[in-house]
Amino acid sequence: MFSYSTCSEMDPALGYELFVAAVFACGHSEIVILLTASGQRAGYNGGQAAIFKEKVGVTMGNTACGQVTKIPVPPGQRVEAGELQAPAVKGYLLYTRNAFQVLFGFYLLYLGWRFYLFVQHFEAGGSAPLTARPPAVEGFLPIGALMALRYWLATGIYDPVHPAALSILLAVLLVSLLFKKGFCSWICPVGAISEGLDRLGERLFGPKRPVMPRWLDLPLRSLKYVLLAFFVLAIFFLMSVDDVGAFLNTPYYRISDVKMLQFFLHLSPTALVTLLALAVLSVIYRHFWCRYLCPYGAMLGIVSIFSPLKITRHTGLCSGCRSCDRVCPSYLKVSHSQRIWSPECTACLRCVENCPCRGALTVAGPAGRGRINPWIFGGALLAVFFGFILLARLTGHWQTILTPADYSALIPYSQYFSHPGK
């Protein structure tokens, strides 16, 4: 319990008895409960205290005030009408997002199993049952999709061999244009694995978890942009349209999805060690692969800069507690920015759901207008992505033109088909 004096020379119309107490006791993740002489109780969050401090200053008078109780606020909690309230989105949004990531991950494993059975039919010479090929596995062909995008933009011809790959790429680009890098934190299976490894690192290291030194962090972060620049330069500038078209008609590209499956089923020692090293590094350092090496994420980050929706900090309500900074998986200084323009922001909304000051952090349009409820943001993101996939299916941009006879002529001899660049 702490006793404070009011500032008697201030304008009583400001309600200075409450304001002064809030100024001296609020902010930095604390609840302030003021008991006036009449027993009236009032609570103020840190954002309000910041405004009050600017208005009334810190001059103290000699008139006795009531007593002020300071109670620590758990991350994500908020104060309303003097009481500790359940957070607006804390927990439920995070768990819902993670639950969707897990369910979608299991669905992709199911599709992978069905694709394995499909390939087995042809590798066994037709003795195994024929399972329908799931086109969604083409989502794991990002380089082929980028080449198909180049060819489509130049000729207007939509890749008929792996149309789902291009459709998925376009859906992801659209999501990034509208909802920042929300694909990475809401849908991407690699992002889900990275987040799981990040949680493991939090449990193992706690507050003593290693942080990449700043002098090393920046050059490492540039690696994913260097990788992206390499692919963009090769596909869009060094290769002619005819070269791209020729590649899209090679036997290798026709069964590139099968080659991808065989790669994961028969990992070389080098590939296995590399994957294990990336997993360990992702436990030690937050989102190591996503932060430093993923060229796909780099591309989406650049597109996301043009997104009209961004995390927006309303300075009049911000307490400066930096809860947002502590939970940001990208180490962004949210508390120092009015709008988050960084291409590293994945729109995971952890900063929003951990903010103790209601309304201080929101998803908003240009100039902070048009605030979007976090639930609507997440729902709209998923609706746009899967809606685009549905549109691709309905318009014939999903199923390959390859027939079972084509696969019978290619899959049994897949070991003889190597990348044309080799």
Half-sphere exposure of 376 (CA within 13 A, CB side): 8
Residue 232 token pair: 């963009």
> Does any domain span residue 422?
no
Q: Helix, strand, coil % (nearest 5) of the chain?
A: 60, 10, 30
Among 181, 173, 192, 201, which Cα is nearest to 103's?
A: 192
The pLDDT of residue 293: 97
**How confident is the model over 190-244, as pLDDT tens digits?**
999 999 999 999 999 987 889 999 999 999 999 999 999 999 999 999 999 999 9
Instruction: Report the distance separating Cα 159 and Cα 165, nearest Å.
Output: 9
Answer yes or no: are the C-beta atoms of 49 and 22 closer than 8 Å.
Answer: yes
256/337 same-domain check: yes
Residue 375 token pair: 């639930």
Instruction: Report the distance separating Cα 195 and Cα 56, nearest Å.
Output: 45
Instruction: Report the distance separating Cα 353 and Cα 363, nearest Å.
Output: 11
Tell me how many domains the chain contains. 2
235/355 same-domain check: yes
330/373 same-domain check: yes
Q: Residue 8 contacts by C-beta under 8 Å, 6 or more apart in sequence?
A: 61, 62, 63
More confident residue, 307 or 84: 307
The mean per-residue pLDDT over the stretch 22-40 comes to: 37
Instruction: Show the domain range for 53.
Output: 2-85
Amino acid residing at 247:
F
Final residue of a structural domain among 85, 100, 122: 85
Q: DSSP letter for 158, please.
A: P
Final residue of a structural domain among 43, 62, 85: 85
Instruction: Report the distance separating Cα 325 and Cα 349, nearest Å.
Output: 12
> Does any domain span residue 304?
yes
Q: What is the average pLDDT score of the chain?
A: 82
Instruction: Report the distance separating Cα 310 and Cα 367, nearest Å.
Output: 10
> Does any domain span residue 215?
yes
Answer yes or no: are the C-beta atoms of 254 and 161 closer than 8 Å.
Answer: yes
Checking if the pLDDT of 123 tops 50, the result is yes
Checking if the pLDDT of 341 tops 60, the result is yes
Answer yes or no: are the C-beta atoms of 145 and 137 closer than 8 Å.
Answer: no
Residue 356 token pair: 């103790």
Question: By three-state DSSP, how is residue 30 classified?
Answer: strand
7/121 same-domain check: no
Q: If you write DSSP's letter for every residue of 99-141 in order, what string do you get?
A: HHHHHHHHHHHHHHHHHHHHHHHHHTTT-SPP----GGGGGG-
Q: DSSP letter for 339, please.
A: B
The pLDDT of residue 421: 63
How far is the CA of 105 from the CAs of 9, 10, 110, 191, 294, in angstroms? Answer: 63, 60, 9, 10, 19
The pLDDT of residue 346: 96
The pLDDT of residue 420: 73
350/328 same-domain check: yes
**How confident is the model over 6-23, as pLDDT tens digits?**
322 333 333 333 333 333
Q: For 236-248, b where at least 16 C-beta lie within 10 A, e where not — what string?
A: eeebeeeebbebb
270/126 same-domain check: yes
The pLDDT of residue 419: 76
The pLDDT of residue 91: 58
The pLDDT of residue 82: 44
Checking if the pLDDT of 138 tops 50, the result is yes
128/61 same-domain check: no
> Does any domain span residue 249?
yes
240/130 same-domain check: yes
Instruction: Report the distance separating Cα 220 and Cα 222, nearest Å.
Output: 5
Q: Is 214 exposed, middle or buried (0-12, 13-18, 19+ CB in 10 A)?
A: exposed
**How confident is the model over 300-331, as pLDDT tens digits?**
999 999 999 999 998 888 878 888 998 999 99
The pLDDT of residue 208: 85
Place of tokens 């090496």: 293
Among 268, 278, 68, 241, which Cα is nearest to 156's?
A: 241
Instruction: Report the distance separating Cα 87 and Cα 364, nearest Å.
Output: 19
100/205 same-domain check: yes
More confident residue, 91 or 335: 335
Question: By three-state DSSP, how is residue 349 classified?
Answer: coil
Residue 135 token pair: 């086109």
Final residue of a structural domain among 85, 100, 130: 85
Instruction: Report the distance separating Cα 183 and Cα 97, nearest Å.
Output: 11
Instruction: Report the distance separating Cα 306 and Cα 231, nearest Å.
Output: 22
**How confident is the model over 374-407, as pLDDT tens digits?**
999 999 999 999 999 999 999 999 999 999 999 9
> Does any domain span residue 76?
yes
Residue 363 token pair: 């998803």
* C-alpha distance across the termini of the chain, in Å: 74
58/105 same-domain check: no
Place of tokens 């060229």: 295
Checking if the pLDDT of 130 tops 50, the result is yes
Residue 362 token pair: 């929101």
The share of the chain scoring above pLDDT 90, in percent, equals: 66
> Does any domain span residue 421?
no
pTM of the model: 0.80
Q: Residue 107 contacts by C-beta under 8 Å, 6 or more apart in sequence?
A: none
110/79 same-domain check: no
> Does any domain span residue 100?
yes
59/107 same-domain check: no
Instruction: Report the distance separating Cα 311 and Cα 83, nearest Å.
Output: 27
Instruction: Report the distance separating Cα 317 and Cα 339, nearest Å.
Output: 14
The pLDDT of residue 207: 79
